[in-house]
């Protein structure tokens, strides 16, 4: 700022007594915008050192206290108090509160993120013994007993089961869910409001109750076997309200102006839905479906009641019990054998890999506002527009020449 | 149309026949009528499925409910075939687990959400948002594994510490535990409500955090800058702008987490050891929840036992339903409401 170029003509004339702005001693010195000062860092470090020392003294010499958690809780509370004290030496009341609140919020945020990441990393870490064995991915557990080493047996049956069950569930829920979501927004009325209320209520249905419903109707009343198909029905009952609700929100985000523009061009309702509403909300709808899928893939309780359990590969979802990944985890860790528990953790790691894949897919496809295009889509639009322009020009040209031709005749 | 309008104007001038509002009718045409029919039937189909689930649940539960009467709410044991069954024990367990979960998860979620939206450096903010959203999608069985194999073995010391020094608070007392008796082993502290609650807390924390973070980040920039311009510190700004703006979303997110915590099955089932007696002591081994009761007893249930389980499931459904509707009505009335759905 000190090196503002001197403009030739219109300039501010400073009173004679004041020093010139570009002179060094007063001038506009660039302000330091960094919020963290050395004294803050020292206050933090000092408070931490003091609190740990005092707590150690209390725990080992003065008071009859013991236990790691108690130590850290006391140390943290002392740290907050000491930090407030140190800061209050050179700051006023509101600034002290601000500093202490910042420390509390940042430590809570850190604890949350670290705890969550730890839970996930723990499962993958414990599965490290099972994951490197290739047979883990292309064998089933038919020939492998609980005492067999990890180089025998795998979870192919669970992978196949999960993929088939979720595919079937998607085949039920995606058409029904999308049609219902379109109905809720595009055919408004009292009936649509009622359906929306019921769907919202059904999102509260606990997943185990969805499983219990299919178990009581499909298996007990109709007398079918437990099968992958029954599991996919239970998953559908659970996923349908989730997908409808998420898609409903996405479709409602489509700008009304787009719809009105389409109607103004004389388009009918279904053409507007098909050519304007659905393409505009495509990425959001995909995200809704994928996130619903991620919920369905990880759900254990509906599958526990309806799919049955088997250790062998069953590729036919319509007949016989079929196991899925979360259910396999559940059954593995019920065994006391360390190898089975290691297999359980490995299966959980595979399941999380699947969820992670779905999540990244949702991020890549979705995450854009309705109507926002990707680079490639934009490029395609530009090309189409150029083609149209060329076509119009050619037509204009043709009609002009034909009219000239006609007039000359 | 034109002729009609002209006729109307003339009629108005002559003050002849009374003006009738024009009938607005647009013929949608055949394709549109088909489209409406398909959409309506799709909505109707979903409605039918949903009502079927609810209706069937109610119908099957009715057998058990009509036999048990009001004692269904007060009986602790679960022996449907002997005619003595009720949800007093499991419902207390469910609510206690959910309360422990919410009391642990909400401070963590508020801290996490405030950190991400207000304090985190811009470089890592997007990463943190993705991590928290991903955690919300992690299957509950993974959290259950962590609770079963890691947390249970590490929490005993803490539980002993709390029960020793805070045992005078009735909730924290543990029967059969004597801090001076070295022979008492850690099993009195295992499989407790606290452990189940902590597992569920970690499971719902990312969901709650994600909702709250979304709401906090939508606090209007103008009001934030206004607070700063009046000399507020960052915490002052958060207290006077962000938190009041996000109140509806915070309550809504908490209720959403509570609904999930009430219905959680596998995470709880893996870590608890079920008992059928009202257990108020959160540190004491043994607790139960409605969903784990269903997972435990569905296989061996007779037809009447199934009906009793349905009644328990219905009670759980009604609880989560009330929580959900309360949440959505609170959220809908608040400023930040619409965005936190």
Does residue A285 share a domain with residue A162?
yes
Give the range of the structural domain holding residue A45, as residue numbers without chain letter: 38-127
Q: Which residue has the higher pLDDT, A146 or A98?
A: A98
Q: Which residue has the higher pLDDT, B272 or B1?
A: B272
SS3 readout for A70-85: HHHHHHHHHHHHHHHH
Integer CA distances (angstroms), A12 to A1, A3, A27, in order: 16, 16, 15
Nearest-angstrom CA–CA distance, A278 and A258: 12
Nearest-angstrom CA–CA distance, B286 and B176: 13
For residue A233, the chain B residue with the least C-alpha distance is B49
pLDDT reported for residue B229:
92
Q: What CATH number is given to the structural domain containing A278?
A: 1.10.3720.10
Q: Could A123 and B262 be called an inter-chain contact, meaning their C-beta atoms sit closer than 8 Å?
A: no
| φ/ψ of residue B192, rounded to 5 | -95, 175
- B9 CA: distance to closest CA in chain A (Å): 27
pLDDT reported for residue A318:
78
Does residue A106 share a domain with residue A205?
no
Q: What does the pLDDT look like over B96-120, one tens digit per residue?
A: 889 989 999 999 999 999 998 888 8
**B275, B286 contact by CB (below 8 A):** yes
Q: Which of B158, B295, B306 sits opposite A69 (nearest CB)?
A: B158
Q: Could A352 and B139 be called an inter-chain contact, meaning their C-beta atoms sit closer than 8 Å?
A: yes
In a domain, residue B115? The reply is yes
Does the interface ipTM go beyond 0.90?
no
| Residue A368, pLDDT above cutoff 70 | no
Q: What CATH number is given to the structural domain containing B275?
A: 1.10.3720.10
Average pLDDT over chain A reads 81
**A325, A347 contact by CB (below 8 A):** yes
| Residue A17, pLDDT above cutoff 80 | no
Tell me the pLDDT band of A387, cut-offs 50, 70 and 90: very high
Which of B32, B34, B39 is the best substitution to test chain A (most A C-beta atoms within 10 A)? B39
Average pLDDT over chain B reads 80
Does residue A306 share a domain with residue A247?
yes
CA dihedral of A372, A377, A378, A382, whole degrees rounded to 10? -140
Give A306-363 as a DSSP string: HT---SS----TTSS----HHHHHHHHHTS--HHHHHHHHHHHHHHHHHHHHHHHHHH
Q: How many residues does chain B have?
A: 341
User: Which among A67, A76, A266, A89 has a CA at the least distance from the CA of B166?
Assistant: A67
Mean of pLDDT values over A18-40: 63
Residue B84: strand pairing partners: B79
Residue B79: strand pairing partners: B84
Q: Which of B140, B233, B328 sits opposite A94 (nearest CB)?
A: B233
- B44 CA: distance to closest CA in chain A (Å): 8
Count of domains forming chain B: 1
Q: Which residue has the higher pLDDT, B116 or A314?
A: B116
Q: Which residue has the higher pLDDT, B1 or B78?
A: B78
**B172, B283 contact by CB (below 8 A):** yes
Q: Could A105 and B317 be called an inter-chain contact, meaning their C-beta atoms sit closer than 8 Å?
A: no
In a domain, residue A326? The reply is yes
Does residue A263 share a domain with residue A300?
yes
Q: What does the pLDDT look like over B269-308, one tens digit per residue?
A: 888 877 777 777 777 777 788 888 888 888 777 888 888 8
Integer CA distances (angstroms), A180 to A117, A120, A339, B261, in order: 37, 36, 47, 28
User: Which among A406, A228, A394 has a CA at the least distance from the CA of A320?
Assistant: A228
Which DSSP letter does residue A372 get? Answer: P
Q: Which of A98, A305, A345 sits opposite B298 (nearest CB)?
A: A305
Q: Which of B99-103, B119-123, B135-139, B173-177 has the highest mean pLDDT?
A: B99-103
Tell me the pLDDT band of B82, cut-offs 50, 70 and 90: confident
- Using a CB-CB cut-off of 8 Å, the residues of chain B touching A205 are 53, 317, 320
| Residue A300, pLDDT above cutoff 70 | yes
- Using a CB-CB cut-off of 8 Å, the residues of chain A touching B44 are 195
Give A212-240 as a DSSP string: HHHIIIIIIIS-PPP-HHHHHHHHHHHHH
Mean of pLDDT values over A134-140: 76
| Residue B4, pLDDT above cutoff 60 | no
Number of neighbouring beta carbons within 10 Å of residue A396 = 10
In a domain, residue B124? The reply is yes
- B26 CA: distance to closest CA in chain A (Å): 11
In a domain, residue B140? The reply is yes
Nearest-angstrom CA–CA distance, B17 and B19: 6
For residue B104, the chain A residue with the least C-alpha distance is A112
pLDDT reported for residue A311:
76
In a domain, residue B3? The reply is no
| Residue B2, pLDDT above cutoff 50 | no
Name which of A142-151, A182-191, B121-130, B188-197 the model is least confident about.
A142-151
């Amino acid at each position: 700022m000190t090196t503002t170029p001197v403009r030739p003509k219109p300039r501010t004339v400073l009173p004679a007594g004041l020093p010139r702005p570009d002179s060094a001693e007063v001038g506009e010195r660039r302000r330091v915008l960094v919020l963290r000062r050395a004294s803050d860092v020292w206050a933090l470090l000092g408070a931490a050192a003091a609190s740990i020392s005092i707590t150690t003294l209390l725990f080992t010499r003065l008071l009859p206290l013991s236990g790691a958690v108690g130590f850290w809780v006391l140390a943290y509370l002392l740290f907050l108090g000491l930090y407030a004290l140190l800061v209050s030496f050179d700051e006023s009341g509101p600034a002290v509160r601000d500093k202490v609140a910042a420390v509390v919020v940042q430590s809570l945020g850190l604890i949350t993120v670290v705890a969550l990441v730890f839970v996930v990393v723990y499962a993958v870490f414990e599965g490290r013994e099972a994951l490197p064995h290739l047979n883990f991915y292309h064998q089933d557990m038919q020939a492998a007993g609980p005492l067999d080493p990890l180089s025998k047996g795998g979870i192919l049956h669970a992978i196949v089961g999960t993929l088939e069950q979720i595919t079937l569930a998607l085949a039920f829920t995606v058409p029904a869910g999308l049609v219902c979501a379109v109905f809720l927004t595009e055919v408004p009325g009292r009936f649509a409001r009622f359906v929306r209320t019921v769907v919202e209520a059904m999102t509260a249905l606990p997943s185990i109750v969805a499983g219990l419903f299919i178990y009581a109707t499909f298996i007990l009343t109709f007398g079918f076997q437990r099968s992958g198909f029954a599991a996919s029905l239970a998953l559908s009952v659970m996923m349908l309200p989730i997908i409808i609700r998420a898609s409903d929100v996405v479709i409602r985000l489509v700008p009304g102006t787009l719809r009105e523009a389409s109607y103004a061009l004389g388009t009918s309702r279904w053409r507007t839905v098909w050519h304007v509403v659905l393409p505009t909300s495509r990425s959001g709808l995909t995200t809704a479906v994928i996130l619903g899928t991620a919920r369905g893939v990880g759900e254990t309780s509906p599958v526990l009641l309806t799919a049955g359990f088997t250790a062998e590969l069953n590729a036919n979802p319509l007949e016989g019990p079929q196991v899925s990944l979360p259910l396999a985890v559940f059954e593995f860790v019920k065994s006391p054998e360390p190898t089975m528990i290691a297999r359980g953790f490995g299966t959980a790691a595979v399941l999380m890999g699947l969820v992670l894949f779905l999540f990244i897919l949702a991020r890549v496809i979705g995450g854009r506002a309705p109507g926002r295009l990707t680079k490639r889509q934009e490029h395609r639009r530009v090309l189409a527009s150029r083609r149209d322009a060329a076509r119009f020009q050619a037509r204009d040209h043709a009609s002009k020449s034909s009219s000239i031709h006609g007039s000359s005749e | 149309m034109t002729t009609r309008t002209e006729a109307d104007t003339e009629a108005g001038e002559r003050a002849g026949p009374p003006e009738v509002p024009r009938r607005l009718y647009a013929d949608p045409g055949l394709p549109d009528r088909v489209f409406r029919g398909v959409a309506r039937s799709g909505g109707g189909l979903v409605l039918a499925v949903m009502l079927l689930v609810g209706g069937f649940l109610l119908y099957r539960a009715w057998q058990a409910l009509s036999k048990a009467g009001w004692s269904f709410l007060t009986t602790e044991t679960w022996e449907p075939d002997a005619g003595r069954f009720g949800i007093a024990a499991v419902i207390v367990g469910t609510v206690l687990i959910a309360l422990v979960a919410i009391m642990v998860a909400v401070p963590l979620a508020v801290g996490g959400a405030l950190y991400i939206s207000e304090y985190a450096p811009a470089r890592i903010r997007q990463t943190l948002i993705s991590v928290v959203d991903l955690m919300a999608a992690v299957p509950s069985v993974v959290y259950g594994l962590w609770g079963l194999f890691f947390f249970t073995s590490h929490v005993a010391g803490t539980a002993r510490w709390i029960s020793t020094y805070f045992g005078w608070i009735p909730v924290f007392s543990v029967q059969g535990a004597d801090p001076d008796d070295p022979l008492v082993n850690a099993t009195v502290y295992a499989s407790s409500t606290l452990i189940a609650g902590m597992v569920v807390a970690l499971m719902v924390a990312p969901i709650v955090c994600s909702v709250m973070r979304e709401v906090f980040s939508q606090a209007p920039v103008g009001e934030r800058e206004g607070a700063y311009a009046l000399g507020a510190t960052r915490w002052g700004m958060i207290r006077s702008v962000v938190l009041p703006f996000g109140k509806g979303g915070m309550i809504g997110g908490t209720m959403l987490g509570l609904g999930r915590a009430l219905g959680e099955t596998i995470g709880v089932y893996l870590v608890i050891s079920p008992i059928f007696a009202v257990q108020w002591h959160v540190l004491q081994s043994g607790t139960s929840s409605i969903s784990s009761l269903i997972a435990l007893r569905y296989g061996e249930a007779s037809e009447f036992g199934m009906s009793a389980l349905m009644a328990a499931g219905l009670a759980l459904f009604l609880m989560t339903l009330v929580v959900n509707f309360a949440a959505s009505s609170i959220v809908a009335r608040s400023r930040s409401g619409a965005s936190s759905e």
